[in-house]
Amino acid sequence: MYLGLLSILLLVTLLLWRTYSSDEAQPATANVDEAVAEALASMAETSEPAISALVYRAILPSLVIVQTDREDEEEGFGIGTGVVVNADATVLTSLHIVDGASEVQIAFADGSESHAIVSGVDPERDIAVLTPTSLPGLIVPATIGSSAGLRVGDEVFTVGNPLGLVASMSAGVVSGLDRDFKVSGSDQVLRDLIQFDAAVNKGNSGGPLLDRRGQVVGIVTGLVNPSEQGVFIGIGFAVPIDIAAGAAGGPER
């Protein structure tokens, strides 16, 4: 009898303790969640911009839209990306964007537009140099870096006009160096390329590959897709800027 009563008292005590603990824990959890939310909101207001945001701001004034018209009705209108590389508004882009075009038009970051002349080409590297026939009100050349110091795993960014979505940014890392890439529908093989996994699609070609300092370290040239549908699966390629710069009149480094 005595043991049975003691067992009941212990059971009641245990149930009360569980109930009390549960009731006390819920407000405490709610307070912690609220405190975390307030702390994150405060950090968002006071923290420095992300590296990617700073890189984007740095390159945006130097970015151009490259538009082409072709006499072949099947190919018709095309769009790509380019980057201003010196004070006379010379633009570096991919040759395959402008090759065979009947007309090339470029739109600068300030909204001004100009016809452009293909003033230099490097077919082996898929690089073209465009000279505008009229200058924008503000010329902001990109900062040219060096691809020589790139390492696999380094963070990189692309900014371009994928699928017509103007000035879109993506981020990734260097996936490989000194890669070879066979151009789709051609026997041409581009060599010594930078492989990266930042997302690129049609319209990104000719745009800059950037490092964390906002410096151009490559010119985007293509992507790999086994389905041949031209959509990104995680493998993009860029011509190292140390090589591409030679097409714009500078020495290869």
Q: Which sequence positions are flagged as catalytic?
A: 96, 126, 205
The answer for residues whose C-beta is within 8 angstroms of residue 177's C-beta and 6 or more apart is 150, 152, 194, 195
218-253 core/surface letters (b: 16 or more CB in 10 A; e: else): bbbbbbeeeeeeeebeebbbbbbbbbbbbbbeeeee
- Decide: helix, strand or coil at residue 21: helix
- Decide: helix, strand or coil at residue 228: coil
- Report the 10 Å Cβ neighbour count for 117: 13
Q: Enter the tokens of residue 185.
A: 């529908």
Strand partners, 210: 157, 216
The answer for residues whose C-beta is within 8 angstroms of residue 36's C-beta and 6 or more apart is none
Q: Enter the tokens of residue 106.
A: 């470029």
Helix (H) or strand (E) run with residue 68 in it: strand 63-69
Cα separation, 140 vs 112, in Å, equals 13
The string of DSSP codes covering 108-142 is -TTS-EEEEEEEEEEGGGTEEEEEESS--SS--PP
